Structure 1
Amino acid sequence: MPMPQPQSTAPMNSRAAASLRRAENISMSRAYGEMAVGLLVTAAVAYLTAVSGLLYAFIMATGMWGWIGLSVAQVLFAVFLGTRIMTMKTTTARVMFYLYAALMGFTLSSIFVAYSLPSILLTLVICAGFFFVLSMLGLTTRKNLMGMGSILLVALIFLIVVQVALMFLTPSNTALRIVAGIGIVLFAGLTIYDAQQTKRIFAAYQNQGTEVIKKVSILCALNLYLDFVNLFLYILDMVGNSD
């Protein structure tokens, strides 16, 4: 009597792989979509703050200490979000992210005072194209970049220390451009790293349910958002023209 032949598992494995790729693509699109909305909120708030005179009124009312306090609050808010998003409800996490984007917009409204509008728009286009290329590199490369995390963190801390020190000095334009160049290189590396990390995080959480995936999307969007904003600012420092 002939023995029954086992059915091939190839079609099943193929369907599972295709389903996994679709889920991964949807999750990645969600993260970059959240980031894009955050950037739109920042741009809108920055422009409206600048043209309404709200920035000038804030500086006149609070002086230098108000600006310092705002900057510190912004950093603390980012740290809070980065450590607590996964413990929040999805709606709360999304609202908090957009509130942070609005706060960033208020702070960034100062660029409309320092730079011309055509220069800002040109820098935005350059940054968007550069960010896209870097993201694609991070998402498609087969090289494991996770080992770069500690190196990039040390470099980021060093850059922050240098910039704080420069606040108390009178740096030359050359020194400022060197710092801007270092910042561009650093955040280019962080963009590639975070793009790959986003892909790996989604792979790790793929079986955790829709709500968890949504919160992971917001967390990854925050990281990518910060990469884009900082990359934009350093490129603006490098190539921007004063108003």
Structure 2
Amino acid sequence: MAEFQGVRSAAGVRTAAIDEGLRAHMNKVYGTMSVGMLITALAAWAISGLAVTDVPTQYQIGAGEYLTQLGYAIYASPLKWVIMFAPLAFVFGLSAAVNKLSASAAQLVFYVFAAVMGLSLSSIFLIYTGASIAQVFLITAIMFAALSLYGYTTKKDLSGWGTFLFMGVIGLVIASIVNIFLASDALTFAISVIGVLVFAGLTAYDTQQIKNEYIQFASHGDQEWLSKSAIMGSLRLYLDFINMFIMLLSLFGNRE
């Protein structure tokens, strides 16, 4: 009996240690993601400010608004295609190289990626009003928090969502590339609506996956791996948030 009590006590200690470690792990995931979001927001705001001027240039975009040389290079020259797809290249590059990088190097690459994403997103400040950007960001933050909390606390296994959601992302990417050439308002609306649903589902799914991965591998005691896992988890949730924000802004943002 005493032996049984000792085994149960030891199991309780291990469970408590995993729970404590999981909380620390998720705090690191959300903390790293939040820093990335802040870098993206500051980069987008700062670059948009440098790209537009009220001093007349040959690149007029509205009443009393003109593109600077930097603005023209970012938004109107062929360089815009490089900027548009640079974040995607970073995602694939970080995912492929994370096992070869140290945790600190992977974190630095993530923050550089966040800055590049800010450059790519800076044009929203030219298209939408600042008030609507702030409102949609707040809506996205509330939705994200609720969905991530659901993914963390639910007892339902969400792993079956993975294939369906992945196919949804592939479909959205293909439709978005096609719509670059079609410029269809109807297709834009459909992409935005479906995109909100897909990335809402991914927020809950990814949160549960991050939690389950920690529980599965925590007993191995590889802190370097766990640190890199937290960074990759931050990247997944960051992308869910950013994409859901973009889709909601397309639906509800007030244009300049």
Normalising by structure 2, report the TM-score: 0.88
Partner of 1:183: 195
Aligned AA (2:158): L
Partner of 2:64: none
Partner of 2:92: 79
Q: 1:44 aligns with which of 39, 42, 45?
A: 42
Over 3 Å counting, the alpha-carbon distance change for 1:131 and 1:237 in structure 2 is same
How far off is 1:229 after superposition?
A: 0.4
How far off is 1:68 after superposition?
A: 0.8
Aligned AA (1:214): S
Q: How does 1:227-242 map onto structure 2 within 5 Å?
A: 227-242=240-255
Q: Is the 8 A contact 1:59 1:66 kept in 2?
A: no
Partner of 1:159: 172
Give yes or no for the alignment of 1:168 onto 2:166.
no
> Structure 1: 5+ residue runs without aligned partners?
none
3-state secondary structure, aligned to 1:146: coil
Q: 1:118 aligns with which of 99, 116, 131?
A: 131
Over 3 Å counting, the alpha-carbon distance change for 1:231 and 1:5 in structure 2 is closer
Q: How does 1:43-122 map onto structure 2 within 5 Å?
A: 43-53=41-51, 56-61=68-73, 63-122=76-135
Q: How does 1:14-53 map onto structure 2 within 5 Å?
A: 14-53=12-51
Q: Which has the higher contact order (CA 8 A, sep 6+)?
A: 1
How far off is 1:5 after superposition?
A: 5.0
Q: Is the 8 A contact 2:50 2:71 kept in 1?
A: no
How far off is 1:198 after superposition?
A: 0.5
How far off is 1:48 after superposition?
A: 0.5
Deviations 1:45-88 (A, max 9, x none): 00010112278534523644211122222211111112222320
Give yes or no for the alignment of 1:132 onto 2:165.
no
How far off is 1:127 after superposition?
A: 0.3
Q: Is the 8 A contact 2:129 2:255 kept in 1?
A: yes
Over 3 Å counting, the alpha-carbon distance change for 1:234 and 1:56 in structure 2 is farther
Distance in 2 between residues matched to 1:61 and 1:120, nearest whole Å: 24
Q: Is the 8 A contact 1:86 1:216 kept in 2?
A: no
Identity in percent: 31
Q: Is the 8 A contact 2:161 2:205 kept in 1?
A: yes
Deviations 1:120-170 (A, max 9, x none): 000110000000011011111112212221211111111111111111113
Following TM superposition, the consecutive aligned residue runs of length 4 or more in structure 1 with deviations greater than 6 angstroms are none
Normalising by structure 1, report the TM-score: 0.92
Give yes or no for the alignment of 1:217 onto 2:230.
yes
Q: Is the 8 A contact 2:107 2:231 kept in 1?
A: yes
> Structure 2: 5+ residue runs without aligned partners?
53-66
Moved more, 149-158 or 98-107: 149-158
